[in-house]
Structure formats: C-alpha cells, structure tokens
Structure 1
Amino acid sequence: MTGVEREIEIDRLAVGYGPCTVLENINLRFAPGRITGLIGPNGAGKSTLLKSLLGLIEPGAGEIRVDGTPLNNITIAERSRKLAYAAQGAPVHWPLTVEKMVALGRLPHLGPWQKIGSADREAIERAMTMTDSYRLRDRIVTTLSGGERACAMLARTIATDASWLLVDEPVASLDPSHQLQVMGILKNLAGQGHGIVIVLHDLTLARRYCDQLVLLHKGAVLAEGEPEQVLADDNLAAAYGIRAVRWQADGQEFIVPAEKL
C-alpha cells in the first residue's frame, strides 16, 4: 500500500444531533507515523469527530475515507482491525483481570468461537509491556488506580494492532507522571508507523507531542498545521478567549493560560 493510500481523508463532513449541527464543512487529512491532536474548547466537536471516523455517528453530509476506501464501504469487522478506539474515561464494570481485559483487543482478529493463539498472546504481552501493565496482569481492573487503569485500557487498544489509533482525552484526570507516560507511549507508536488522532486539552502536551494540530471552534476548523502555528496567540484568543503565558525550558515550550479575555 502506498503512502498516499495510507491516510484518513475527511471531505466536506457535516455531523449533527437532530436539528443541532455539531460539525460543518470539515476537510482534513491525517497521515500515518504522526500524532494529530484535536484541540478546542468544550463543545467544539472533537469527540464527535472521533466517533464519526469510527462510523459510530452517521454524517449528514460529506465523506470519510480510510486508506483510500470510503468508510461506508468498509465492513464493521475490517473497521475494528483498522481503527482502534480508546474512549474518554473508558469505564470497566466487570471484574476482569488486566490480562483478560487487554485480550479483548484481539477480538477483531478472531472468528466465532476461535481461541486466542500464539500471535494474539504475543500482541497482548507486547501491549502490556509497552504500557507498563504487565506487572498488573493478574490484578482486577476495577481495583486499579486511575493512572494504572488508563494504561491498561490503552494496552487493550494497542493490542488490536490497528493502523490507526483514535484516543479521546487519554490524560484526563491523570497525575503528571502518568500523563507523560501515556503521551510517550503514543509518540513511540507513531514512530512505529501508526497514525494517532488524539483529543487533548493540555496545550503544553499538545505542543510537545503532536506533529499536527487541528483547532476546532464552533464546529469548524479554525486552524490546522504545525503546533507552533496553530497555538499562536490570536488563535488561542479566538477559540478559548484567553491570553497565554509562554516560556522555554530544556528546549520545550510551555503554554499556560494566564487570563480570560
């Protein structure tokens, strides 16, 4: 498959809930081997865009193509192998061990009543090792801390071994150490050729880890491109209504909201 075919294309996408339009005239391209961050204020349509890419929400207009094929022409089974989704919060209600929960990520590769094989077990162990969850493999998921559970849930997504990972606010409510750990894992996956599309609110993490940013505002794309361009003062003022303070340390730029305009 050529590099041109390996992309997610969004053309003239419009999405709404009943009479309410959430996204309108969205035109975007997501490339493999890169982290694309979706940023913007609450209600801008970030999570709706992710769910549209998965086919969980039927668009009112426009088209989404994954690796050159219209999303509607890709079977549910094939979508689940191409596109892995980590939902925001991702609650767990069953007393599963971490290993069994991560193993659920292999279901798209199994036929009816088919048992997990050696390749599946390797993918499960690799995902747990990558997320530092292997040491927790025998723990019940519901007994984990918030950070441990977030890493375990990310392991389940990684175990799918999908080309594209769609991740909705994976660092929400995590302590700083786990935030850096999760973002580092995603950066490593992008380096391995996976395409990562991630919803973020932390502007510094977006600046540090993302290769491309899409700033959504009122259901439209206000800015897209390199992080330093998208995070310009005028864009932050227009989207968030804030003035930000910036400083450099260890070769990294830090962006902190200073006041509401």
Structure 2
Amino acid sequence: MKHFVMGLFLAMAVVGCGSTKDDDGGGPDENPSEQSGALCSASKACPSGQFCFNGLCALGCQSNANCAADQYCDAEDTGTLASYCKSKNVPTCTSNSQCLSNQVCIEGLCSLAPPANPPSCNPETSDFKDGCDNYSVCLDPDDDGSRQPYCASFAPCAEDGACPTGLGGAVCNDGYLANKGRFCMQGICRDNSNCPSSWSCVKPFTGAVLGFCSPGAFGFPCSENAHCKSGQCFSAPGVLGTCM
C-alpha cells in the first residue's frame, strides 16, 4: 500500500451493526435487516437532522434521553458539528445475514458494502481530508490500480470507548486520525489487549502510538522475535521486520 497508514487500514475489515429501534425490550430485533432505522449510502441521503453512519441513518441528540434504549448520545465525538445516537455496544457477526441488508460481515464485524461504482476519493492524503465523510476512510484495494479506491465505512465506538477485536483486532479512533470521528479502526491497536488472543500489537517504529495486530505467522510483520510463532523475526533495529 502506497500510504503507510492506509496500508494498515487495508489489512483491516470494518464493523458495526447497530439498532435504532426501541422495541420496549431494550435491544435490537433478531433480524437487523428489518430494523426501523432508514438505510443510507453515498447516493441515498438520510432525512434532515440525521447522519449516514455505516449504512444506517443516525439521529441527532443532546442527551441519552433522545436515543433508543440500546443507544447513547456521543457528545464527545468531534467528527461532526452535532452529536448523534450510536449503539452502546458494537455487535459481532459470523455471516452477512446478521448485518443490515446493505452491510456485509467482514472479519467478524459488519461494514457498509462497497458501492458498485464508488465515488472518487484520495487515499494518498496525510491529513485524512480524503473526500470521504468523517466516519469513513478512502482505501485503495489494490496498488496495481485494478480496482478504484472507495470510502470504507466504520462502525461507531461503543459507549465505553471499546471495540470488539473481531477476527483481526480493533481500537477506537479517539483523535488518532485527524479530521475523522470516533469509529472502530479494525486491525489497528494500542497494545496486545486490542488484538485477538495470542496475537501481537506490532508498532511500525520505535515510539509509535498505534500499531496493527499480527498473528505472528510466516511473512507477517514483526519488530521482535516474540511477535513470531517461529521465534524468529528478521528485521533491522527500530524498523519493521518479517516473521520467518
């Protein structure tokens, strides 16, 4: 991947099945595709006063009282001028049927399906003013240009700021990415606790705040021998290496 941080994001999948329906039971319907929240996309805008968040229209709010029982009002998010209702928890998935009808299950978490004809965006920016909204990031699927870059949507962080690890790890974007809101960055980590069990959080250079989750298999990045199942990391001091 040409842009290093974008390379980290390409290794991740994206998240976020949420409910906007208060069914008096305090939780989402068993079939998320039948929830009452309006579905949305780059070509299908939400009603006035709502915001498209990972394929689902989110309500504006001032407090938790404005949200459904299974949601909270995220007043700490600096991604937009207004606050929006978001799911208290970030559900996981094992199949597309557990996600909204316009989402797919990737690496154990739900993500808005990439459009067939994605709008133009720029994956080469350093300030993340990439042509996408504040809750998505421009990804380049292939360095060879065989597929067009697209805006990949991410699910909101849970009320406690945590994100499920899914199949590849995740951490909440609490101001790490400039000009982006609070969403789960899948594949990214602060430490090993953000990664699946027995995986390692590998930092790209000494002193880096964020790294990415690695299973330690042959060919995966490492910075020390302990990151590799073989116990052998081929690298130069202070830079990423490869598990042997």
Query: Which structure carries more relative contact order (alpha carbon 8 Å, separation 6+)?
Result: 1
Which structure has more helix as a fraction of its residues? Answer: 1
Which structure has more strand as a fraction of its residues? Answer: 1
Q: Confirm or deny a common fold (TM above 0.5).
A: no
TM-score of the two chains, using structure 2 as the length reference = 0.27
TM-score of the two chains, using structure 1 as the length reference = 0.26
